[in-house]
Amino acid sequence: MKLSALFFSALLYSLSPLVSAADTKIYHWVDENGKIHFSDTAVPGTEQIDVKNNNLLSSGKQASDEPDAIANELSLDDEDTPVVNYQATIISPEDDKPLRSNDGTIDIHVSTEPEKENTHKLQLYLDGKKLGSPQISPTIRAKNIDRGTHQVQVEMLDKNGKVVAKTQVVTVHLQRATVR
């Protein structure tokens, strides 16, 4: 007898929030300044809001419980995620032009279309070899480069390191003063 009374009390106690939530009345009104107010007591000029109890859980099987439905919801179609085709262009230095730099510095300015995201980085290649680490800045500085003819190219990498765009190859004729 005591056990059933205890069980009934626990059941009643656990269901009481559901009963009170179902009976809750919410009112709202707009004051003279245009500010919206909410209350649980009615004031002249208020409107009652219909409160639906969406916190109830159903133990019944839903369509989304099926593995195929879940897989379809989680899979991303190509139509859902637009693919952005980036174009990268070296705007400076100009192709096949002499460049005078006695300290061997070459500043490479890259333009991307559309503008690259903050997570994208630019990797410089000099004569087909990586030079330095990927950078966020659209201006890359190569230092202490030997005089002579060099090929410069830049790759744009996404946050995972995947190449999303490559620039054209630009030929640079670096001129440096020599000590005699």
Q: Give the predicted TM-score (pTM) of the model.
A: 0.53
pLDDT tens digit sequence for 86-132 = 899 999 999 999 999 999 999 999 999 888 888 899 999 999 999 99
Q: What are the tens digits of pLDDT across the range 48-101?
A: 877 665 555 555 555 555 555 555 555 544 455 567 788 999 999 999 999 999
Q: Is 48 left (phi over 0), alpha (psi -120 to 50) or beta?
A: beta
When pLDDT is averaged across residues 6-20 and rounded to a whole number, the result is 59
What is the distance between the alpha carbons of residues 107 and 119, in angstroms, rounded to a whole number? 22
Question: How many angstroms separate the CA atoms of 1 and 4, rounded?
Answer: 5
The percentage of the chain sitting over the pLDDT mark of 70, rounded to a whole number, equals 69
* Domains along the chain with CATH numbers: 1-52 (no CATH), 87-175 (2.60.40.10)
